């Protein structure tokens, strides 16, 4: 930070002294431009000054000289225009585009005196934009061997330390654990469905199913890149439908020998839906946490709904829990494809829902103290208070943990001012405004 501040001071002194002439080691960083729809995106426009600063820092960190000349308006120049600008110096043009819940970052660089455009494109989040720009600029400069010797080792080491490198199939262990457990459950289901009462068959079949599930997970992890979020999302698609199948089978008095088959079929269907979802969109850790949360609270609220309808609490609400688990996991899985959440926020919302349920139960507990015969109206009032407390607590948790820099939002906090200075040949250009959603 001290070095960057010193460089900024030197740039300001040079600007006041006179106009610098471009050279082969100079880099003209054109103003970042926004791409995409004709309607302006306030979130992307607010990030453009920050992107200018990131490119300027990356140029100076690489040992090249940031050319001090007029930067012009924010527009995406054509390839021919970029080649004309790159006569005596490098020309770098960053562009930014909103793509669903992410940002499409593209940096085009032209080496002086050549007619070759070097382009790097990455899909990034707003939080990872700083890292992506540093890595992309390093790759563009190194692709032509233009990184100066003075900054060679230090720049490489710094870029490698900054770039997050997640190993391939980082969710291998999570996937293996869930696949092995489900394989063992399938083996036990086969033994139970066969009608055999010989316990000596249980352990071999469970061991065989566990081994098959573990081996299949290893093959999947080697063939595809299974992240931790993917693995936990698959586990949500596996266990909550399995639980729903078992609960519904018990609710409808299915023979015990056949109940486990219902769980196997439901689990297989849930995994198929999870795989189809993963093939259509990116799944993050927060999406997996949201899906598990939907299964948990769906089961609980489904059980409360059945008890409310029956007006009593003496019987276990197997049917409501089964339907609630299925609907909750499915609904949360669909919602996860439309939102971008952090796992910590999902956990805080779950905590708010739990505290709301406890508060609702405590607030309506006087209704039970005078209800010796468990009358249906008082019981329903108590159960309704728990249901309302859960929903209200989840809403309060969602509102209190809202993030202004969520990837799907347009901008940051309402009314947040910003200012940015860009070096130019005749001085510095200042940009200021208000950042927010209006």
Instruction: Give the CATH number for residue 73.
Output: 3.40.50.10070
Q: What is the pLDDT of residue 239?
A: 94
Residues of the chain with pLDDT under 70: 1-24, 36-40, 68-72, 100, 143-166, 370-374, 403-438
The pLDDT assigned to 322 comes to 93
Strands (E), 36-131: 65-66, 90-99, 102-110, 117-124
Shared domain check, 217 and 198: yes
* 67 within domain boundaries: yes
Q: Are residues 143 and 177 in the same domain?
A: no
Q: Do 255 and 365 fall within a single domain? A: no
Report the distance separating Cα 343 and Cα 132, nearest Å: 22
120 and 191, same domain (yes or no): no
Residue 348 lies in a domain: no
> pTM, whole model, 2 decimals?
0.59
pLDDT score, position 20:
40
Boundary residue ending a domain (301, 317, 341): 341
Q: Are 130 and 116 in contact (CB under 8 A)?
A: no
Do 31 and 157 lie in a common domain? yes
In a shared domain, residues 337 and 369: no
| Per-residue pLDDT at 314 | 85
Q: For residue 225, give Cα distances in angstroms to 21, 123, 164, 334, 343.
A: 49, 17, 16, 22, 21
| Residues in Cβ contact with 421 at an 8 Å cutoff, skipping those fewer than 6 apart | 428, 429, 430, 431
Q: Is residue 307 part of a domain?
A: yes
Per the domain annotation, does 349 fall within a domain? no
pLDDT given at position 83: 79
Same domain, 66 and 185: no
In a domain, 346, yes or no: no
Give residue 428's domain range: 2-165+413-435
Same domain, 398 and 418: no
Q: Which two tokens stand for residue 147?
A: 């990184």
Does 347 fall in a domain?
A: no
Q: Check whether residue 368 and residue 282 sit in a common domain.
A: no
Point out which residues pair with 418 in neighbouring strands. 433
In this structure, are 271 and 234 located in the same domain?
Answer: yes
Give the per-residue pLDDT at 371.
59
Render the burial of 40-70: b for 16+ CB within 10 Å, e for the rest: ebbbbbbbbbbbbbbbbbbbbbbbbbbbbbe
d(CA 419, CA 235): 46
**Overall number of domains in the chain:** 3
Distance CA 136, CA 333 (A): 33
Pair of tokens at residue 413: 């906090």
What pLDDT, on the 0 to 100 scale, is given for residue 126? 78
Domain match, 115 and 21 both: yes
Q: Do 254 and 377 belong together in one domain?
A: no
- On whether residue 407 sits in a domain, the answer given is no
Tell me, yes or no, whether 147 lies in a domain: yes
């Amino acid at each position: 930070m001290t070095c960057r501040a010193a460089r900024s001071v030197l740039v300001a002194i040079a600007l006041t002294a006179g106009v610098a002439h471009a050279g082969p080691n100079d880099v003209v960083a054109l103003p970042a431009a926004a791409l995409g729809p004709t309607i302006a995106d306030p979130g992307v426009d607010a990030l453009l000054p920050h992107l200018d600063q990131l490119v300027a820092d990356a140029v100076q960190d690489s040992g090249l000289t940031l050319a001090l000349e007029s930067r012009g308006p924010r527009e995406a120049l054509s390839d021919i225009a970029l080649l004309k600008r790159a006569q005596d110096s490098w020309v770098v043009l960053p562009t930014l585009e909103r793509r669903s819940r992410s940002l499409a970052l593209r940096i085009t660089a032209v080496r002086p005196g050549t007619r070759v455009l070097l382009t790097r494109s990455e899909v990034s989040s707003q939080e990872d934009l700083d890292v992506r720009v540093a890595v992309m600029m390093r790759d563009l400069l190194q692709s032509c061997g233009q990184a100066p010797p003075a900054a060679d080792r230090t720049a490489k080491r710094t870029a490698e330390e900054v770039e997050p490198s997640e190993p391939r199939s980082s969710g291998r262990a999570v996937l293996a654990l869930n696949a092995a457990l489900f394989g063992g459950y399938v083996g036990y289901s086969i033994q139970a469905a066969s009608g055999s009462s010989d316990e000596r068959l249980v352990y071999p079949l469970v061991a065989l199913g566990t081994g098959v599930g573990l081996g299949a997970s290893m093959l999947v992890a080697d063939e595809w890149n299974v992240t931790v979020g993917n693995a936990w999302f698959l586990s949500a698609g596996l266990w909550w439908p399995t639980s729903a199948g078992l609960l519904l089978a018990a609710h409808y008095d299915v023979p015990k020998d056949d109940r486990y088959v219902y769980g196997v079929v439901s689990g297989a269907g849930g995994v198929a839906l999870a795989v189809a979802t993963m093939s259509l969109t990116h799944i993050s850790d927060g999406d997996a946490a949201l899906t598990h949360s939907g299964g948990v609270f769906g089961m609980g609220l489904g059980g409360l709904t059945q008890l409310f309808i029956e007006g009593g609490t003496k019987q276990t609400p197997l049917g409501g829990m089964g339907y609630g688990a299925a609907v909750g996991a499915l609904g949360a899985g669909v919602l996860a494809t439309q939102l971008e959440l952090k796992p910590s926020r999902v956990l805080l919302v779950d905590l708010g829902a739990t505290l709301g349920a406890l508060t609702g139960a405590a607030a309506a507990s006087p209704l039970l103290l005078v209800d010796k015969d468990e009358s249906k109206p008082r019981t329903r009032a108590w159960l309704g208070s728990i249901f309302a407390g859960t929903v209200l607590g989840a809403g309060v948790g969602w509102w209190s943990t809202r993030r202004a820099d969520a990837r799907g939002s347009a901008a940051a906090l309402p009314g947040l001012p910003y200012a940015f200075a860009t070096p130019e040949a005749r001085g510095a250009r200042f940009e200021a405004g208000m950042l927010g959603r209006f």
